[in-house]
Amino acid sequence: MSVIEFRNVSRWYGNVVAVNDITMDIGPGVTGLLGPNGAGKSTILHMIAGFLEPSKGTLALDGTATWRNPEVYRRLGLVPERDSVYAFLTGAQFVSATAKLHKLPDPEQSAAWAIGLTEMAEAQDRKISTYSKGMRQRIKVAAALVHDPEILLLDEPFNGMDPRQRLSGTIQVMVAGRLAASGDFRAIRRLMTSRPHVFRVKTTDDRRLAAALVGRDYTHAVELTSKGLQVRTSDFGAFCEQIAVIARDENIRLTELLPTDESLESVFGYLIAN
């Protein structure tokens, strides 16, 4: 399985530093590259794709530099943020043209496969000029998948789309050109000890459980709401371990225990706010 390796990679444009001394590995699976506008995400993707040369450091795909290496395009697929489709073509024509550029043995069959994968078959014979923003994004994804690449790079993949699935837990977070956090976003969240964890708890007796939680070392705050208890805890592990014990001792049945600020969005918001 392919691995993209960054070693002390920087990229600058004149006096502007877009990416500053990044060292990381991107392995198999789905990795989310997150960051506010101007954080360096697009620059990183373009360096991986071989469009830009690192100003400093090394960037390699399985040990081979991507810069000035056309062979990587056989293994990479790129969906740029910019709308790079020909609106006068149909979806099928656009994806088929991309297949021909890759010199695939059966461009039409490959195009049909990629279009089916992105669920665009019903609209494939319509001109792209008639597509919604989300449909245009999906046909771009189909074109990037047509040669069945090992690695798919997506710049702002949900721009205009209604994603059915979230990104995987693995994220790389860029802030001001630097790597601010790397790894599973849930693990990153649990390392943020300065921010209390927030849980929603539903039971057969919320008031009694609230009284039992108040005053515990790990309890930061307890609030009764229309949706159950909102509990802020300074110790994720201790709370998760003790909540079931407390409920048992108080003869209360837990019906829901849900962390409400351990989402990808929450973790990203905390990181860029620091």
Q: What is the CATH number of the domain that holds 41?
A: 3.40.50.300
pLDDT in tens, the chain (274 residues): 788 999 999 999 999 999 999 999 888 776 777 777 788 888 998 899 888 999 999 999 989 999 988 888 888 888 877 776 788 999 999 999 999 999 999 999 999 999 999 999 999 999 999 999 889 989 999 999 999 988 888 776 555 544 443 465 677 878 788 888 778 777 777 777 677 888 999 999 999 999 999 989 999 999 999 889 999 998 888 898 899 999 999 999 999 998 887 767 677 777 777 5
Residue 72 is assigned to a structural domain of this protein: yes
C-alpha 192 chain-centroid distance: 20
- Same-domain check for residues 198 and 182: no
Answer yes or no: is 272 within a domain.
Answer: no
Residue 215: both structure tokens together: 């005053």
pLDDT at 188: 79
Q: What's the pLDDT score for residue 168?
A: 55
Cα–Cα dist 215/228, whole Å: 19
Contact 274, 193 (CB under 8 A): no
Residue 215 phi, psi dihedral angles, 5° rounding: 90, -10
Dist. CA 96–CA 91, nearest whole Å: 8
pLDDT at position 166 is 44
Domain count, the chain: 2
Q: Give the contacts of 143 (CB within 8 A, at least 6 positions apart).
A: 85, 94, 95, 98, 114
As to burial, measured by CB atoms within 10 angstroms (0-12 exposed, 13-18 middle, 19+ buried), residue 183 is middle
Residues paired with residue 154 on neighbouring β-strands, in sequence order: 79
Task: Single out the residue in 186, 202, 229 at which a domain terminates.
Answer: 186
Asked whether 51 and 44 are in contact (CB, 8 A), the reply is no
Residue 121 CB-density burial (10 A; 0-12 exposed, 13-18 middle, 19+ buried): middle
Residue 269 inside a domain? The answer is: no
